[in-house]
Amino acid sequence: MGKTSNSTYYPLRTYYWLIILFQLLILVPGCESNDPYCDPWDAYWENPDTMKFIATGDPQYKEDQIQYGHVTVRNSDWIAKLVQRRICEQGYLGYLIAGDLTFYARKPELEKYQTSIDSFKQYVFDGLGNHDFKFVPHEDSVGPRWRNFGMAPLFHVSKPFWTEDTYDVWEEVRSKARIPKVYDSKPNLHYSFDWDDLHIVQLNAFPGENPTNTKHAQHPFNSIQFLKEDLEQRVGNSGKPIILIHHYGFDDFSIGVEEGKHYQEKEWWTEEDRKTYWDVLKPYNVAAIFTGHAHKYEEWYLPWDGENIGETNVATDFIPTFVAGAAREGYYLDCILVNDTMTISRYNIDSLLDVRKIHVQRGKGK
């Protein structure tokens, strides 16, 4: 009797748990590109007055830290998993990343980053930061890769030449298939896209023409010209609100300020770069700028009027700018646009730190 009872019980128990597992697989949405339940646009079109997304910067996966699961790696992974759930379950349209995907632009770091976003990569709108540019001093060792990458005819670069792995990081940004489809600048790296009436531009390291004299390895690849042409062609006089993403921002670290004093040799982009940037943006309806680079910067909201930076310094005509990261430290922004008000909530992992609301003037047809 015991043998008969056991032979009946175990198959039934196995069958029972298989049923439970099957139900869980159905009820918990995946995020594969071919999963019909993971299209956030279905949720958006049901309620087009509300647009949601997550922004951050600096996942900055570092090879030795990956190997032993450092807290910075766990932080970046945690945020990526949060974004996956928000996209699949709550209709968030995407993940904006303001550069520094890797620490040394090494293959294991890129692979770890790719793994972290793999299940929702079509909704990831990432760019490059200074850590995604690593160079070697000898042209002969990597010159052919630069020439074959397709950008050599666009830019005269005598040195530095970048490492082989660096180009793989760049290719990740340049060639990712995204939803919606982007307006790219191939063989260059910059791109833009539309979420309904919102026009978003990814400018990678910073809006500029050439590197600064002291940061010659981090090339903007004439992103300012791409921006100028993109806005002329795809925004024009439509009044569309614009969001911009780039790595260097308006924080003291990015602009070379320490203890209230400016040091030209420490600036990552120049005052001249920012003046040119403002002149390009002035005719348009810029809703916000999201940046990276600064990791634990408390002044995360930095309005900018083309000359002055900070809430107590700017004139009445200014652009709201936000330090979006750093993901490696657990920081990210939860952004929800309802009609003409965007609520931007700053989190560290699951702790809400601060909230800002900005007015967004919608386009003529919205």
Give backbone dihedrals phi and psi of 352, rounded to 5 degrees, phi first: -75, 125
Q: Is 358 helix (H, G, I), strand (E, B) or coil?
A: strand
CA-to-CA distance for 66 and 284, rounded, in angstroms? 42
Give the domain ranges of the chain. 52-358
Residue in the block written with tokens 């990261």: 325
CA-to-CA distance for 26 and 5, rounded, in angstroms? 32
Q: Which amino acid, residue 308?
A: N
Q: What tens digit of pLDDT does each residue of 269-295 get? A: 999 999 999 999 999 999 999 999 998
62-71, 156-165, 239-248, 300-309: least confident range: 156-165
String of DSSP letters for 124-187: EEE---GGG--EES-HHHHHHHHHHTT-TTT----S-EE-HHHHHHHHHHHH---SSPPEE-TT
pTM: 0.88
Question: What's the pLDDT score for residue 152?
Answer: 85
Helices within the chain (DSSP H only) = 2-27, 40-46, 63-67, 71-90, 107-117, 139-148, 164-175, 223-234, 252-255, 271-281
Q: What tens digit of pLDDT does each residue of 153-185 get? A: 888 876 667 888 999 999 999 999 999 999 999
Q: What tens digit of pLDDT does each residue of 206-262 get? A: 999 999 888 888 999 999 999 999 999 999 999 999 999 999 999 999 998 876 777
Strand order in the sheet with 95-97: 124-126, 95-97, 50-56, 331-338, 341-348, 351-359
CATH class of the domain at 52-358: alpha beta
CB 195 within 8 A of CB 180: yes
Mean pLDDT of 49-76: 96
Residue in the block written with tokens 């002044």: 299
User: What tokens appear for 350 in the block?
Assistant: 């699951």
